[in-house]
């Protein structure tokens, strides 16, 4: 099956001190633009089959850097937005400082029991997780059908959204997703198979992505081994780069 690279958007002026949520017209700042250009250059080593993005400006701008780098490498990659990858609707929390939110009675519930949280005037975290996971699985199946099982594609979204997708792939209850870290412009990789998802990396901010290059078509005995790709290698295996 394909490999999906979950890319968080780059930094904005609001990232960190303020919960931007779905605040409109939040653009990458100079730091975020530099981050987006750097990760796009690293991803240029891969022939991407598709780039999917949250419609919010900070994600669209990060994804656009990726498609520009692909074009510079001689590839035209389709980019489209999907509302299922939108940031969680934090409702009345949107636009408030993290310092003030940390004193809200709902804060400890968000930390310990996010699956039970519905933000006042906004969305339930469980609903956010469900829509995001469905988007990734649906598009991954489409990419497999159109570009083959070795394809690699990018989904650009938001921190909590990506953490929820990773938690699902790891078989973690949503209440444990706060244990995951997803930094700005980090990349996390998942490969879905018929039997289970494999989480290949998380929160990668500097690694070499060439290890995700599509493999050559299998032949002979290798084709039979590839058919068992849902199996986990006992003992850990030799890694994707082994010959």
3-state secondary structure at position 167:
helix
> Residue 43 has which token pair?
């991803």
**Token pair 């750097």: residue:** 38
pLDDT > 70 in the chain, percent? 90
Domains identified in the chain and CATH numbers: 3-211 (3.40.50.1240)
What is the pTM assigned to this prediction?
0.91
Strands 48-53 and 79-81: parallel
Cα–Cα separations (whole angstroms), residue 56 to 1, 130, 154, 208, 228: 28, 19, 16, 28, 39
Q: C-alpha angle 204/2/229, rounded to 5°?
A: 100
- Higher model confidence: residue 216 or residue 33? 33
Rounded to whole angstroms, how far apart are CA atoms 29 and 214?
A: 33
243 pLDDT more than 60:
no
pLDDT tens-digit map of 21-73: 999 999 999 999 999 999 999 999 999 999 999 999 999 999 999 999 999 99
């Amino acid at each position: 099956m394909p490999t999906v690279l979950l890319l968080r958007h780059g930094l904005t002026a609001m990232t960190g001190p303020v919960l931007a949520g779905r605040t409109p017209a939040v653009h990458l700042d100079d730091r975020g633009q530099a981050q987006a250009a750097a990760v796009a250059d690293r991803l240029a080593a891969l022939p991407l089959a598709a780039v999917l993005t949250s419609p919010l400006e900070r994600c669209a701008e990060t994804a656009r850097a990726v498609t520009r780098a692909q074009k510079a490498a001689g590839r035209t990659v389709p980019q489209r937005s999907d509302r299922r990858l939108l940031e969680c609707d934090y409702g009345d929390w949107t636009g408030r400082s993290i310092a003030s939110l940390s004193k809200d009675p709902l804060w400890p519930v968000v930390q310990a029991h996010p699956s039970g949280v519905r933000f006042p005037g906004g969305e339930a975290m469980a609903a956010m997780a469900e829509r995001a996971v469905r988007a990734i699985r649906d598009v991954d199946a489409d990419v497999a059908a159109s570009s083959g099982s070795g394809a690699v594609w990018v989904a650009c979204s938001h921190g909590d959204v990506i953490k929820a997708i990773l938690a699902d792939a790891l078989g973690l209850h949503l209440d444990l997703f706060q244990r995951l870290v997803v930094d700005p412009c980090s990349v996390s990789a998942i490969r879905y198979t018929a039997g289970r998802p494999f989480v290949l990396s998380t929160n990668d901010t500097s690694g070499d992505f060439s290890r995700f290059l599509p493999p050559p078509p299998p032949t002979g005995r290798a084709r039979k081994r590839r058919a068992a790709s849902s199996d986990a290698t006992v003992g850990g295996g030799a890694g994707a780069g082994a010959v």
